[in-house]
Chain A
């Protein structure tokens, strides 16, 4: 199924959870945060939230700064 991650379309398997997604991209999972369809999901719920076709996921971390354009979709 197709979902959007940080504004990019990605194919993922059915039943994929947010936790699976983090593992898929091999992000270090500490000190990042996830928004699922506009709602922040607590870390303890990552493994139970299942993605569905067309879902929008934002995964953020921290950078220096500072001024850049807001980019969450």
Chain B
């Protein structure tokens, strides 16, 4: 019975939906910064992720370029991104190219506002999201952890929103838990995927405990000393965090509250 219960629990904790389509893992991972393709593949396997994100770039003309896609498990759902774009127009062009090459409507929309922080340009992001949704894209926008912006992106037709936890690649963890919690409470039906800034397993667990539906990360795994081991840690942290969110945590108290009965103590 305990086995059946734990299976049911893990089924409920791992699956989530984007635009009506189910994904078996709440961990979405990247493909950048790995020391080798072998290391990347081992990390992907260990993570249990079913979706990976890839960037769009010019093909080099002067040499043969190995395709990243040849090194990805064909079972993985590829989520192209518009990383590196600074305007809505650049992001829209990149999304159209990605769709043509991969025959997927999915696009992780990133419009960066500043090179030092890589913070998103929310205004350009919203503009691009509106255009791409009209063109039939399933737009997953990266944006600042702001409730009002989340509402606008959802109103524009995005099936999920991707607030940042901290700057891209910083590994600082969730810097503003209150914002994520407010977003969860005010948008109970929205799919919220925390994107960027996670550094280690506890950060991913915190994001999930705050009510995120999924977490997207790259650097925390790719720059770990042992990426495959960290990928597995992330997988477990995401599951633990989700389960804790569903369980509903106890209230915090300022003072102690004894666990054992106060009567019958041997004196």
**B97 and A71 form a contact (CB under 8 A):** no
From A10, A34, A67, residue with most partner B Cβ within 10 Å = A67
Q: Find out whether the CB atom of A64 lies under 8 angstroms from the CB atom of B30.
A: yes
Instruction: Knowing A6-B58, A33-B100, A40-B97 are in contact, say whether A67-B118 is a contact too (CB < 8 A).
Output: yes
Residue B146 CB within 8 A of the other chain: no
Interface-side segment among B2-10, B63-71, B253-261? B63-71
Determine the interface band of chain B, counting residues with CB < 8 A from chain A: 35 or more
Is there an interface contact between A69 and B59, defined as CB atoms closer than 8 Å?
Answer: no
Tell yes or no: B215 within 8 A of A by CB: no
A59/B33 in contact, CB under 8 A: no
Number of contact residues on A: which range applies? 20 to 34
**Cα distance A20–B173 in the bound complex, in angstroms:** 49
Q: Is B56 an interface residue (CB 8 A)?
A: yes
**A34 partner residues in chain B, CB cutoff 8 A:** 100
Decide: A66 and B58 in contact? CB cutoff 8 A. no
Instruction: Select one of B85, B86, B96, B218 contacting A66, CB under 8 A.
Output: B218
Asked if B177 is at the interface (CB within 8 A of a chain A CB), the reply is no
The residues of B that contact A41 with a CB separation of less than 8 Å are: 100
With A70-B86, A72-B93: A63-B64 Cβ-Cβ less than 8 Å: no
Contact B33 A65 (CB under 8 A): yes
Given the complex, which residues of B lie within 8 Å of A7, measured CB to CB? 58
A39: nearest chain-B partner, CB-CB: B96
Which of B55, B78, B90: most chain A Cβ within 10 A?
Answer: B55
Is the Cβ of B84 less than 8 Å from the Cβ of A60? no
Q: How far does the alpha carbon of A27 sit from the alpha carbon of B99 in the complex, in Å?
A: 19
* Residue among A6, A62, A64 making CB contact with B101, cutoff 8 Å: A62
> Beyond A64-B68, A67-B83, A72-B90, is A58–B55 a contact (Cβ under 8 Å)?
no
Given contacts A8-B61, A31-B101, A70-B94, 10 further A-B contacts (CB under 8 A): A26-B64, A35-B93, A40-B96, A58-B97, A61-B68, A65-B81, A66-B83, A67-B84, A68-B83, A70-B90
